[in-house]
Structure 1
Amino acid sequence: MGQAWNNVQKHRQAKGKFYELMSKADDVIVIHYSCESFYDRPDGSSPRITSIAVRNLESGQTTSFSIHQVAERKGFSAIALEQHYDELEKLMLDEFYNYVRRHASHIWLHWNMRDINYGFPAIAHRYKVLQGEPEEISESKLVDLSRLLIAIYGISYIQHPRLNSLVEKNSITYRDFLDGKGEADAFINKEYVRLHQSTLRKVDVLANIVERTANGSLKTNSSSKDIYGNYFTALIELIKENPVISGVLGLISFVSAVIGIISVFIK
């Protein structure tokens, strides 16, 4: 099939995937995490995971895991916290992976958490560095909301950085929201509570975007053509490449032409 028809099919599949998620909302977990900057690391070490937030899409029930919360439970002061980063990060990830084990059958909805720089592989790697054994989440259970929105609304549906731009365009409050650099800087500056609040806020933002997509109120920069593609061109491609359809339509055209000629002589 031609490109136009492929685009139509991709759009339909993406919409189908999205509504499948909504029909199973109680089994969908929205996740976001924050970490140290993964740039400017001359020693090649992996960035430390600093906080993780997970939210049930249906109920809104949110659970969080953070270094500063673990430190508080252990009775460490803010000054002592920095001296025990590895221990605290390991305990935090212990708790997170216990949660993963209890929700292994759920669908995990995320934003660009796809690789070793930033994503599920990065979290698993950090846990291994700290001598932990991460619970594997099946790829079939991972859904990237960022890519899903591109498939639904088109590649140019919003300008980069897409998440920040969606928040602004849809007048979603920026309260507690930090971008990636802001979160990394907050950790350097030991603003642990501020960092944790940003992580929590982002799972709320992602859930908000999902809800607006579901009810058709999400604002984007896409035109109807960006969203739905060129259906007329796709139809022509389908006809050309399907001999049965071509034959039927050819017969209809022939009959119409004959009727037109006969009507001329009748008059």
Structure 2
Amino acid sequence: MRIFRSHRLDERQQGIEKLNKLKSNRNKTLVIHYSCESFFNLEGRTPRVTSICVKNRASGESKAFSIHLQAQFKKINLAVASVQDIDLLEKEMLSEFNSYVKKNSPYCWVHWNMRNASYGFEAIANRCRIVGGRTFTIEDDQKFDLSDILGKLYTYNFVEHQPSGQLLNMSHLNAISTKDALTGKDEAEAFENKDYLKLHMSTMRKVEMVDRILNLLEQDNTKIKSKKTEIYGLSFLGVIEIVRSSPLLLIIWSIIIFILGAAMEPVIQRFFGTS
């Protein structure tokens, strides 16, 4: 019967299952984030990747891949670098990332909204091909979009999109440092100004932000903006979950059940009691 089914709770269960998988595989989980040039005015071209950062949750260590670092290795001054220089630096950076992925592809890869050809694993793989490097493969069931998991758990209104995007807003709400993290607009400006160090620092900070949000989520200590009626829905089962999740409502519900039970006992005894 439909009264005993809830689309909202089914969706929430999907989020719980993904979160449980990450908990059980913590020692083989990586958190990834990357920065790229603006998506606009590219005339259909895939945005250039400027930096990638990956954090190993078991060791706590982060691995950085960036044009900024490659420029130092190659002794190239980014302030006067040509397009060909930047192509070379991006190719070297992506080749190193490709080698890293091959060693760690069976791991769980936690990311934030990296799920299409404009911004995501596919976009990075396409840039590998465009600059003439080897590409990589990560199976879809090894990718975990933390923003999607939050959406399934708490609805996609878990935090506002404005003014800084959900990742920064979620971090602010949960007192997670956003030092050096740039908004999308600021990242686009940094790219135009060839300020690759800012992009590099922003990427590294955002990996830490995603990791901290995941830690809080695993501890069931995450602050969100969704209301309980949104989280559980207003189905029969949803109302039960709302009551169960609130100690005060659970106490009130228990009192009501006790009172109703006491009131109904004489009636039950009258109709079903022995004569």
| TM-score past 0.5 threshold | yes
| Residues 10/45 of structure 1: CA separation in 2 closer, same or farther (3 Å cut) | closer
CA contact (8 A) 1:68 1:81 kept: no
Q: Among 177, 180, 186, which residue is 1:176 paired with?
A: 180
Please tell me the residue identity of whatever aligns with 1:222. Answer: S
Mark the runs of 5 or more structure 1 residues left unpaired by the alignment.
237-256
Deviation of 1:105 after TM superposition, in Å, equals 0.6
Task: Indicate the residue corresponding to 2:25 in structure 1.
Answer: 24
CA contact (8 A) 2:51 2:200 kept: yes
Whether 1:261 aligns to 2:265 is no
| Greater relative contact order, per chain length (Cα 8 Å cut-off, separation 6+) | 1
Distance 1:93 1:232 in 2: 51
CA contact (8 A) 1:8 1:231 kept: no
Q: CA RMSD in A?
A: 2.3
CA contact (8 A) 2:33 2:207 kept: yes
Deviation of 1:62 after TM superposition, in Å, equals 0.1
CA contact (8 A) 1:36 1:184 kept: yes
Whether 1:78 aligns to 2:81 is no
CA contact (8 A) 1:30 1:203 kept: yes
Question: What's the TM-score, normalizing by structure 1?
Answer: 0.84
> Deviations along 1:11-50, whole A, 9 cap, x unmatched?
12311220220221121110000001011223x2221100
Residues 1-267 of structure 1 correspond to what in structure 2 (within 5 A)? 2=2, 4-42=5-43, 44-83=44-83, 84-160=85-161, 161-230=165-234, 232-233=236-237, 260-263=270-273, 266=275
Aligned length: 245
Distance 2:233 2:152 in 1: 11
| Residues 133/229 of structure 1: CA separation in 2 closer, same or farther (3 Å cut) | same
Deviation of 1:262 after TM superposition, in Å, equals 4.2
Please tell me the residue identity of whatever aligns with 1:20. Answer: K
Mark the runs of 5 or more structure 2 residues left unpaired by the alignment.
241-266
Deviation of 1:179 after TM superposition, in Å, equals 1.2
CA contact (8 A) 2:51 2:65 kept: yes
Q: Once structures 1 and 2 are overlaid, which stretch shifts more, 181-190 or 47-56?
A: 181-190
Deviation of 1:5 after TM superposition, in Å, equals 2.1
> Deviations along 1:225-246, whole A, 9 cap, x unmatched?
333334634699xxxxxxxxxx
Distance 2:172 2:133 in 1: 39
The percent identity for this pair of structures is: 37
